[in-house]
Amino acid sequence: MKTRIIDVIALLAFVVLWLIPMAWVGYLGGPPASWPVNCQDLYAVSCLFGRGSERVSMFYVQVRFADRPGWYDLPEHEYFKLEPFGHRNRFDRFMARFGYREGDGLARSELAHWLAATHRERHGDEPGIVAVRFLWVDHVISADAPPEDRWRKPPRPRAGQLRTLGDPVIIQAAAVQP
């Protein structure tokens, strides 16, 4: 059996471009910081958790009802039952991706109107939602006090200093149908 030059080149390319860097990354426990980001991800066994988070953003929803003063926490589990992202539900994922920046008012407004309409469908005999506001806090993760066990978002009163995202969304009363 005769060795072709193309086979030797392919083998050398595999060893030099993948096997040696992969062994080096394994030895170091991670890619060197001096490597370009795209190259760092190429040699990670799993790109899902390439870097640890320095903080966790936590989002909360509060509503104002037609006949009650003050703001009330909306039970997220009733409106966002699935937790396809570990212990973060779809609301957390939506807000982290589309809802926390100042320019995301339209996304928050659409979500607020959906929440009000869904509340009206499920709880038609209760007072309707007239306003919705979104709250946000960043929880810093430190090596001195790492999260314990399975992390879950704490109840709003224990979350720390909350900030309101944008202005509250005012919900117009549904048109009365004859």
Which pLDDT does position 44 carry in this prediction?
62
H or E element in which residue 164 lies: strand 163-170
Which pLDDT does position 161 carry in this prediction?
87
Alpha carbons 11 and 76: distance in angstroms, whole number = 55
Query: What order do you get walking across the sheet with 55-65 strand by strand?
Result: 72-73, 55-65, 129-140, 163-170
- Give Cα 148 distance to the centre of its chain: 19
pLDDT classification of 24: cutoffs 50, 70, 90: confident
pLDDT tens profile 156-167: 888 888 888 888
Which pLDDT does position 6 carry in this prediction?
93
Q: Mean of the per-residue pLDDT values for the chain?
A: 81
Percent of the chain whose pLDDT exceeds 90: 28
Contact 95, 60 (CB under 8 A): no
Alpha carbons 99 and 165: distance in angstroms, whole number = 8
Segments of 43-162 assigned E as strands: 55-65, 72-73, 129-140
pLDDT classification of 149: cutoffs 50, 70, 90: low
Q: Which is more confident, 49 or 28?
A: 28
Which pLDDT does position 13 carry in this prediction?
94
**Phi and psi torsions of 166, nearest 5°:** 65, -160
Which whole number is the average pLDDT over 121-141?
Answer: 90
Which whole number is the average pLDDT over 9-38?
Answer: 84
pLDDT tens profile 46-55: 555 556 677 7
Closest CA to 117 of 171, 48, 160, 157: 171
pLDDT score of 86 more than 50:
yes
* Most confident by average pLDDT, 1-10, 37-46, 128-137: 128-137
Closest CA to 62 of 161, 139, 129: 129
pLDDT score of 82 more than 60:
yes
Q: Which residue has the tokens 């499920």?
A: 122
Which pLDDT does position 177 carry in this prediction?
38
